[in-house]
Amino acid sequence: MTLADLQEKQKAIVKSIGDLGELKTRLMELGVLCGEPVQLVRRAPWGDPIEIRVEDTFIALRRADAAKIEVEPISQLRVRKGRGAKR
Amino acid sequence: MKKIRVALAGQPNVGKSSIINSVTGARLHVGNFSGVTVEKKEVFIERGDYEIEIIDLPGIYSLNAYTPEEHVAKKYLYEEDYDLIVNVVDANTLARNLIFTMQLMDMQKKMILVVNMIDEVEKQGGSIDKGKLEELLGIPVILTSAKEHRGVDEIIDQIVATHESDKPKNKLYYDQRIEEQIDKIVKVLHKSPHFKDPEYARFIAIRLLDRDEDIYKIIHDLPIFIELHELLGKIYRELELEYDEESTSDILSDERYALSKALVMEAVKKPEVKVSLTDRLDRLLIHPVFGLPIFLFFMWLLFQLTFEVGSIPMDMIDAAFTEISNVVKATLPDGAVQSVLADGVIPAVGSIIMFLPNILILFLGINLLEQTGYMARTAFLLDGFMKKFGLQGKAFIPLVSGFGCTVPAYMAARTLKNPTDRIITMLVLGFMSCSARLPVYVLLIGAFFPTAHAGNILFIIYISGAILGLIVAKILRTVLFKGEPEPFVMEMPPYRFPSMKALGMELWIKTKLFIKKAGTFIAGASMIIWFLSSYPHSGTIEESYTRKIEAVQSEEAKAALENEMAAKALENSYLGRIGKTIEPFFSPIGFDWRMSVAVVAGLAAKEVVVSTLATLYAVGDADERSNTLIQRLRDNVTFKAAIAMIVIIMIYSPCIAAMSTFWAEVPQWAWRGFYLVYPNVLAWLMAFGIYRLLDMMGY
């Protein structure tokens, strides 16, 4: 799964950052590093670009670039657990 | 007096310029988005025996500079001679900011860490342990809030203290495996006389591991290069294999991030997480469906207010200047001096000052966009739209600045990394009507449209300029520049309440500059226009008309003849002759020679268009006191020609100041040449098309 495939508000862990050239360095400087939690905050009109959150930094980037970042979703599990507990 | 030179460095939008303003009372431009400061600015302050020079550098995320304005900062940090670094960081995003801090610490200079916006963290219940940070980093730390003027005066004291003390020992060490490789590189570097200093050699070694091309260029020409090159190749392979990373620079990034997270863990009490105001606002303001209509509504509102509210004091200012003019006429004896003041300078300056309220409202609007953080949202909202035209969302920021003034907008294009994106953006920036063109529009709209629609027409003019810009960008992208635009990546700052002080300051500066420009440049230009339009006096015209006027009886006929005489004299003047020469060029779009002259004079500055019209239509009108410029325009200019004029003003070359900025920013002669020609050709063609269209429609 990639960062571009996340649902709004869904959280994930960054697994690997693909070939993004210099953009990769820039994203790492902003805190997008392997093993870090990341959240998809919202999508712009027409679904592109997207806004993501790492730590307390909010970053806008395009879907095509986000699609090169592999992630492992985590918050889905939490949502299910939460619902289960309520029931 | 002893001097201390301080480099103020930090990531974008941490408040570097605000801190300088707060410490020194300087008036640097500030805003809430990345890339407000795009060139270095010096500010001086005296303290005790010292004259302290603070250099405000553009924000830079790391020494791996990405965009042109970041390279300005990097170049300064590497090449210039300064005594210490003041590193400003944002308390809200400390972990990320500290990564750059560590890179700066690698430089082995004296350094102070300023943790700004501490008020925002504390308001949410967080805190930062200053002592702990100092202990862990080994450099002095100051907690500040530029907004609340908290801790900022301490910065100057600390600069003096740090300058006078010895440099503390470096405390920053990387993983053992990395340190071993650094040592190996340092050993080779020591063989060159340039790198005898162990601290400097260590810095170079770390930068080489960070794959810094600027440093690579330095060692490239040295005799040790071959040995070093071989060693580096080996080290890169070894480390990348060991850490399973693509590049040693990624390894260092991970390393620094881990270190900074550990630091933050020790020294920072995080605020409790809650839904922030920013998130709630953004749910509405950048809503996938409502976001764009809301943005358009804001822009529409801005132009409505610009016209409506701005026109309230207009009549008063107009009346005041007419009064001044009359007083001058009454007190000074008839002659050239009286005429140059009463007919030339005063009406011209007055015709410009009249529009100050409009311009201030427009500026206030743009400033609010910049200071609240909404500017970054517009880039986010419009990136998808801009992409269709071969530009990216970030290019929208200089375009909006262009509505204020084209000069800083050209500079703001530095935030675009890709040179092609930058050139395209700069080439279409002129179509974003700057505030100096506002007076021309307001004047022509006032003369030719009903007041009820005026604000809407103004909005349409500005939007058409923007749309034309996008279309031209698309054409340039397809015809001249192959390839994809650069990737779009941008930080979204939290919304911040604008500082009333900063807003007031910006408006005050704008007012001062505007009045100064009107009083010097515009007054000077109008004096030239007056001279050229009043001389040479032709005795024959005057004589023949004086005889005719004496011959007729009725007052009406006399007035008509007087007007005719004034018009004839004007046509015979130097300017009249120039105008007649260029008139054929403009007559296909319905301009008379006076409009032609005004438009050409507008190349100096767009305000001159209005002042020139004011002078030319006043000199040619004997009955000066009763008629307003608007009335004279209605009498002399057709509706379709007025529209053609609006189109010309919207598209043709901006003022000299803007053109020279473009010149300075773009070194390629081909683009400079293209830039000088194409807007004017396009302007004429568009004006011609619209003029003919209106003509066919029977206007």
Supply the pLDDT for residue A86. 39
Which residue from B690, B641, B646 is spatially nearest to B440, judged by alpha carbons? Answer: B646
Q: Find the chain B residues whose C-beta atoms sit closer than 8 A to any C-beta of A.
A: 61-62, 64, 66, 92-93, 95-96, 99-100, 249-250, 253-254, 257, 279, 282-283, 286, 288-289, 291-292, 376, 379-381, 383-385, 387, 393, 417, 487-494
A45: nearest CA partner in chain B: B288
Contacts of B496 in chain A (CB under 8 A): none
pLDDT of B179 above 90? yes
Helix B574-586, helix B555-572: angle, nearest 10: 80
pLDDT of B87 above 90? yes
| Contact flag B380-A46 (C-beta cutoff 8 Å) | no
Cα–Cα distance measured from residue B317 to residue B437, given in angstroms and rounded to the nearest whole number? 19
Q: Which of A20, A30, A49 sits opposite B393 (nearest CB)?
A: A49
| Contact flag A25-B257 (C-beta cutoff 8 Å) | no
B279: nearest CA partner in chain A: A41
pLDDT of B308 above 80? yes
Supply the pLDDT for residue B621. 62
Instruction: Provide the token pair at A22.
Output: 């210099």
Supply the pLDDT for residue B352. 86
Supply the pLDDT for residue A85. 41
Contacts of B288 in chain A (CB under 8 A): 42-45, 47
Mean pLDDT of B31-50: 90
Share of chain B above pLDDT 90, in %: 57
Distance from CA of A87 to the nearest CA of B (A): 25
What is the per-residue pLDDT across B320-359, written as a single tens digit (0 to 9) for each?
888 888 888 888 888 888 888 887 888 888 888 888 998 9
pLDDT of B450 above 80? yes
B486: nearest CA partner in chain A: A23
pLDDT of A87 above 50? no
Average pLDDT across chain A, whole number: 85
| Contact flag B384-A48 (C-beta cutoff 8 Å) | yes
pLDDT of B35 above 60? yes
Cα–Cα distance measured from residue B632 to residue A72, given in angstroms and rounded to the nearest whole number? 72
Contacts of A33 in chain B (CB under 8 A): 253-254, 257
Cα–Cα distance measured from residue B186 to residue B387, given in angstroms and rounded to the nearest whole number? 47
| Contact flag A49-B61 (C-beta cutoff 8 Å) | no
> Which comes out higher in pLDDT, residue B533 or B5?
B5
Mean pLDDT of B404-425: 89
Kindly report which listed range (B63-77, B273-287, B576-590, B654-668) carries the lowest average pLDDT score. B273-287
Q: Assign residue A44 the CATH number of its domain.
A: 2.30.30.90
- The complex's ipTM? 0.88
Kindly report which listed range (B116-125, B447-456, B493-502, B535-544) carries the lowest average pLDDT score. B535-544
Mean pLDDT of B44-73: 92
Supply the pLDDT for residue B620. 60
A23: nearest CA partner in chain B: B487
Total domains in chain A come to: 1
Which residue from B414, B410, B380 is spatially nearest to B65, judged by alpha carbons? Answer: B414
Q: Which of B99, B289, B489 sits opposite A59 (nearest CB)?
A: B489
pLDDT of B457 above 60? yes
Cα–Cα distance measured from residue A84 to residue A87, given in angstroms and rounded to the nearest whole number? 5
What is the per-residue pLDDT across A20-78, written as a single tens digit (0 to 9) for each?
888 888 899 999 998 999 999 999 988 889 999 998 899 999 999 999 999 999 866 45
Q: What is the largest CA-CA distance in chain B?
A: 107
Instruction: Provide the residue range defining the domain that includes A31.
Output: 3-86
Q: Which of A28, A43, A62 sits opposite B253 (nearest CB)?
A: A28
pLDDT of B633 above 50? yes
Residue B18: is it exposed, middle or buried by C-beta count within 10 angstroms (0-12/13-18/19+)?
A: buried
Supply the pLDDT for residue A76. 60
Mean pLDDT of B80-105: 94
Cα–Cα distance measured from residue A29 to residue B415, given in angstroms and rounded to the nearest whole number? 17
Label residue B226 left, alpha or beta by phi (over 0 means left) and psi (-120 to 50 means alpha).
Answer: alpha
pLDDT of A83 above 60? no
Average pLDDT across chain B, whole number: 90
- Best of B11, B251, B269, B380 to substitute, by most chain A Cβ atoms within 10 angstroms, is B380
Distance from CA of B384 to the nearest CA of A (A): 6
Mean pLDDT of B685-699: 93
